[in-house]
Amino acid sequence: MTSPLPSSPAASVLDLASAPVVPVVVVEDAADAVPLARALVAGGLAAIEVTLRTPAALDAIREISGAVPEAVVGAGTVITPEQVTACGAAGARFLVSPGWTDALLTAMRASGLPFLPGVSTTSEVVALLERGVREMKFFPAQAAGGTAYLRSLAGPLPQARFCPTGGIGPDNALDYLTLPNVGCVGGSWMVPADAVAARDWARIEGLARTASYLRAEGGTCR
């Protein structure tokens, strides 16, 4: 990721190790955004990726940015330059894409926000390295080869670091975090849809707290 927790407003690189687990959040109702973010922050997960999969996403980012300053809210599923602009205007502090093009990469760089372009093949990784990008989203992680694939990239491409998302949960997150080229993982297991629908913020806080203990040196997210 070019850093869920940016070191400065102008930073273009994400410090993957600063947030071992990044919640990937789908918000259907913007009214849920603030209590959801507060539950995640209370549970120890301050870097929050709100995906642009619903009409409420930009409003959710705006609400969290204004009302939960301790959260580092970013935008996920960013696929167009226009979305880059809209996310920045809404208060997003980092950008995540499932894939990338030169136009999208240019827009993300021009935004001044930290960004994490998505890859799923070796050629895409090499192309980003040519363009000076070393931190990337690996998506869809499980479907694209999982830990075995990432482990095989560590030898020839040790300079590339990844935030895998897609198919990651409490049973395999630690397997990814023990890899030398993985700085963090993204997932939604701490924000299950039924808990969000029921507005069970206490349950979400508890799941986040458990996930926040996950560390490459031997934590658990069970």
- pLDDT reported for residue 12: 52
Question: What number of CA atoms fall less than 13 Å from residue 30's CA on the CB side?
Answer: 15
Taking 90 as the threshold, does the pLDDT of residue 4 lie above it? no
Q: Is 109 exposed, middle or buried (0-12, 13-18, 19+ CB in 10 A)?
A: middle
- pLDDT reported for residue 8: 35
pLDDT tens track for 131-152: 999 999 999 999 999 999 999 9
Percentage of the chain with pLDDT > 90?
Answer: 86
pLDDT tens track for 93-129: 999 999 999 999 999 999 999 999 999 999 999 999 9
Q: Is 103 exposed, middle or buried (0-12, 13-18, 19+ CB in 10 A)?
A: exposed
pLDDT band of 5, cuts 50, 70, 90:
very low
Which residues are catalytic, by number? 49, 137
Higher pLDDT, 13 or 188: 188
pLDDT tens track for 162-206: 999 999 999 999 999 999 999 999 999 999 999 999 999 999 999
- pLDDT reported for residue 71: 96
- With H, G, I as helix, E, B as strand and everything else as coil, classify residue 172: coil
* Mean confidence (pLDDT) of the chain: 91
> b/e for 8-21, b at 16 or more Cβ within 10 A?
eeebbbbbbebbbb
Cα radius of gyration (the chain): 16
Percentage of the chain with pLDDT > 70?
Answer: 88
